[in-house]
A and B are shown apart, each in its own frame.
Chain A
């Protein structure tokens, strides 16, 4: 008489043994595929990082092309990157707007000279006509010193000076350069945003301030933001 229970157990063992090689092959292939996918994923991420890294540099360096300084350093605060990118896209637009803004404020014969703000050689001419010779010489001296030392205090000074002279394009540029060298200087952000407002980029200025306040809780920036929103700052 056949012992069915025992025979069924033997059969089960036989089936497991017969499927074992297939199972091992299947599992091996699955693991290889899984590892392959992980490796591919990591490789893809690295490639993406490598591809995006230069983009950041490009984004930051573009405004510098319009300035007198050429040295590149890393911008540390993230919020600035967004608006810089936006600014890059629209820089040609606000260049035109600069003309529109300044036409009613400046005498007609001076307007073409102010429009050349972005050009290096025109600075001297503009300063001669608007400010005293001494101030222009001082600014040139400071610019020269800044080129040599790359001191953010000098660039901040230049930004403030240009802002006082209502040369908002240059004040914007120097504020940005200052921020690049040292992104923790509160005043560079303030001058930068004020310049933005004067360049007709009020919304951008608000956005930048909001991001900056969120990151630093700066009270000065908070006051400026309130003033811009309420219309007190014009």
Chain B
């Protein structure tokens, strides 16, 4: 019994590991609508799509999911980690998209020659995550490249005041569509947590969350998916430890303990003593 319980809590803990895996994508009504909108935009004659939102709102997951979904039907390249060196960026694109391996430094002029010389059957889609890390100069080059309509870009940006400015200055006239991602509401967060657990066959722990639990979690994470994952990972780690120490009986069985949620929030730094 104990070992089974420990397995349940450990399994539940692993569900909330903060990784970007398209298979972990959770369909929520609002998120699904946005995702569908993004997919539709891909098929339009766009130059660039800007996907923006606060950190942890699921932008990377969106790109990952999009890559997985359309890779079978379209030419799509996902760059989750920014390539900050300009030459390296051109060389990577030249090799991946245009199948041109270049030795030595590759500047924008040289790269554009490769682009113009190419004869692709369809317009490739380049998914650039964490675009706020690219330099302004490189972003301007990306803009010019998108103007040639030889490559479509879907880029993600963290939404901050500074990045809003970048979006306005660099992309305002060129972005065909902007999509904003937001934090989850309490109701959405409940579905997210339960769906995530049930997807991993953790039905017991999925049914342990009460509305009060969800409200408390939402209070600490503000509906941010990344923060929620961190909080719940710690929560189930605590459960696993208490189970291991045979001290789980001090909590009411069948529901998640608010005390443990608060302890998890303390440990992860969402609150302070």
> What residues of B have a CB within 8 angstroms of the CB of A7 in the complex?
238, 263, 266-267
> What residues of A have a CB within 8 angstroms of the CB of B267 in the complex?
2, 7
A4 within 8 A of B: yes
> What residues of A have a CB within 8 angstroms of the CB of B129 in the complex?
none
How many residues of chain B are within 8 Å of chain A by beta carbon? 14
- Choose one: B238, B245, B273; the contact of A14 (CB below 8 Å): B273
Q: What's the Cα separation between A11 and B271 when bound, in Å?
A: 10
Q: What's the Cα separation between A229 and B237 when bound, in Å?
A: 96
* Given A2-B241, A7-B263, A13-B273 contact (CB < 8 Å): yes
> What residues of B have a CB within 8 angstroms of the CB of A15 in the complex?
262
Q: What 1/0 flags go to B14-38 for Cβ under 8 Å of A? A: 0000000000000000000000000
* CB of B2 to closest CB in A, whole Å: 17
B259 within 8 A of A: yes
A214 within 8 A of B: no
B89 within 8 A of A: no
- Choose one: A2, A11, A14; the contact of B234 (CB below 8 Å): A2
| Complex interface residues of chain A between 11 and 34 (CB less than 8 A to chain B) | 11, 13-15, 17
B262 touches A14 (CB 8 A): yes
B273 touches A2 (CB 8 A): no
B238 touches A17 (CB 8 A): no
Q: What's the Cα separation between A4 and B259 when bound, in Å?
A: 12
A8 touches B263 (CB 8 A): yes
> What residues of B have a CB within 8 angstroms of the CB of A10 in the complex?
263, 266, 273
Residue of chain B at shortest CB distance from A16: B273
A11 touches B273 (CB 8 A): yes
Q: What's the Cα separation between A17 and B272 when bound, in Å?
A: 10
> Do most interface residues of chain B lie in helix, strand or loop, or is the interface mixed?
helix
* CB of B240 to closest CB in A, whole Å: 10
Residue of chain A at shortest CB distance from B245: A4
* CB of B224 to closest CB in A, whole Å: 21
A4 touches B262 (CB 8 A): no
Q: What's the Cα separation between A15 and B271 when bound, in Å?
A: 11
Residue among B234, B242, B259, B263 with the most chain A CB within 10 A? Answer: B263
Q: What's the Cα separation between A14 and B241 when bound, in Å?
A: 21
* Given A10-B266, A11-B262, A4-B273 contact (CB < 8 Å): no
Q: What's the Cα separation between A8 and B242 when bound, in Å?
A: 12
Residue of chain B at shortest CB distance from A11: B263
> What residues of A have a CB within 8 angstroms of the CB of B245 in the complex?
4
A11 touches B241 (CB 8 A): no
* CB of A145 to closest CB in B, whole Å: 91
A-side residues, CB < 8 A to B, are: 2, 4, 7-8, 10-11, 13-15, 17
Q: Knowing that A7-B263, A10-B266, A17-B273 are A-B contacts, what are 20 other residue pairs whose CB atoms are under 8 Å apart, sorted by A's residue number?
A: A2-B234, A2-B237, A2-B241, A4-B238, A4-B241, A4-B242, A4-B245, A7-B238, A7-B267, A10-B263, A10-B273, A11-B259, A11-B262, A11-B273, A13-B273, A14-B262, A14-B266, A14-B271, A14-B273, A15-B262
> What are 22 sample pairs from A and B whose C-beta atoms fall under 8 A apart?
A2-B234, A2-B237, A2-B238, A2-B241, A2-B267, A4-B238, A4-B241, A4-B242, A7-B238, A7-B267, A8-B263, A10-B273, A11-B262, A11-B263, A11-B273, A13-B273, A14-B262, A14-B266, A14-B271, A14-B273, A15-B262, A17-B273
